[in-house]
Amino acid sequence: MSELKQDDMLVRLGENGSIDDNRELRISLQLARGRVYEILARALGYPWNRKFFRPQKLLEPMDVLLIDENDWESLQEVVNRFGDYLPKMAMKQVQSEHIRVFGHAVSQECPPYEMQYGTEGGVNSQTDVLIQIGGFYDTFGYQVPDKGPTRDRIDHLSIELQFMAFCCHREAYGIENGHDEKQLTVIRSGQKKFIRNHLGRWVPLFCLFSARKAERGIYKDLSDILSIFIKNEITLLDVQPVKVEEPEYRSLSYSMENDLIANAPAECESGK
């Protein structure tokens, strides 16, 4: 008797049928994941216009993929809270709040750039982050926007979220069009590695920092949603990221600042 082939992510959601029997569920799950990544990528980038975030659009895809019932209840509470204040905010207010929380330049309080959080190799390998991320993008055929409102450094949170959306949609397309399971496994493996080595590693601390900085309002609530989603992704993909902890980040930031001072040109020194 041949071994039953199942989709591990669906199994964690309580669906135990074969990959053939669960074909439509597999497609729906990847589309739902991709949709949430897209919504959060847009919401956490710079808010250029009113279309940057529609909170209610999160509910349907999140209902498909959330494992923990408590997370679903927390999500509903946060999404409903947006209705109390977001419709009343002018775009200039939203933009000002984005700048207050994340800054014009790279914020040291809650930077939305992965490179600021270093790597598992420590300070000396920090610049390798961009090489590692770029390698993922190239391998899976993702092209970073080089113009328009979504353009940013490749390690920006919104770009990394867009990459994961791209991978989810690629997997959904592959399932729908009957691609070989080995090809689909490569895409799934890439997602697991990206969550384990990148998003799952630094985003939990980013969420803590941004919620602390924002204190309340849109970016506090978005941070809470992102935290719920990334925690769920770590469980769905069954990975164990080595998360950056706050003392490690503070030590890294201090070292970076000292390096900048040590390498500053002489004319920048005080009194010259």
The domain tally of the chain equals 1
- pLDDT value at position 120? 60
> Which amino acid, one-letter code, is at 154?
I
d(CA 218, CA 140): 33
Buried b (16+ CB within 10 A) or exposed e, 6-40: ebebbeeeeeeeebeebeebbbbbbbbbbbbbbbb
- pLDDT value at position 107? 72
CA–chain centroid gap for 260, Å, is: 28
Cβ contacts of residue 263 below 8 Å, gap of 6+?
none
Angle 154-185-19 from CA coordinates, rounded to 5°: 130
Q: Which residues pair with 113 in a beta bridge?
A: 156
Alpha carbon dihedral 154, 138, 204, 14, in 10-degree steps, equals 150
- pLDDT value at position 271? 43
**Residue 19 belongs to some domain of the structure:** yes
**Residue 266 belongs to some domain of the structure:** no
- pLDDT value at position 123? 41
Tokens at 20, concatenated? 């053939």
Q: What are the angstrom distances between the C-alpha of 30 and each of 35, 109, 156, 171, 216? A: 8, 33, 23, 7, 31
pLDDT tens, per residue, the chain with 272 residues:
457 899 999 999 999 999 999 999 999 999 999 999 999 999 999 999 888 999 999 999 999 999 999 999 999 999 999 999 999 999 999 999 999 999 877 777 899 999 888 766 554 466 788 899 999 999 999 999 886 555 689 999 999 999 999 999 999 999 999 999 999 999 999 999 999 999 999 999 999 999 999 999 999 999 999 999 999 999 999 999 988 888 667 655 544 444 433 443 444 444 44
d(CA 59, CA 77): 11
**Residue 3 belongs to some domain of the structure:** no
**Residue 267 belongs to some domain of the structure:** no
> Which amino acid, one-letter code, is at 158?
S
**Residue 265 belongs to some domain of the structure:** no
Name the residue range of residue 81's domain: 14-257
**Residue 89 belongs to some domain of the structure:** yes
**Residue 49 belongs to some domain of the structure:** yes
Orientation angle between helical segments 200-214 and 246-262, nearest 10 degrees: 90
- pLDDT value at position 263? 40
- What is the CATH number for 61? 1.10.3480.10
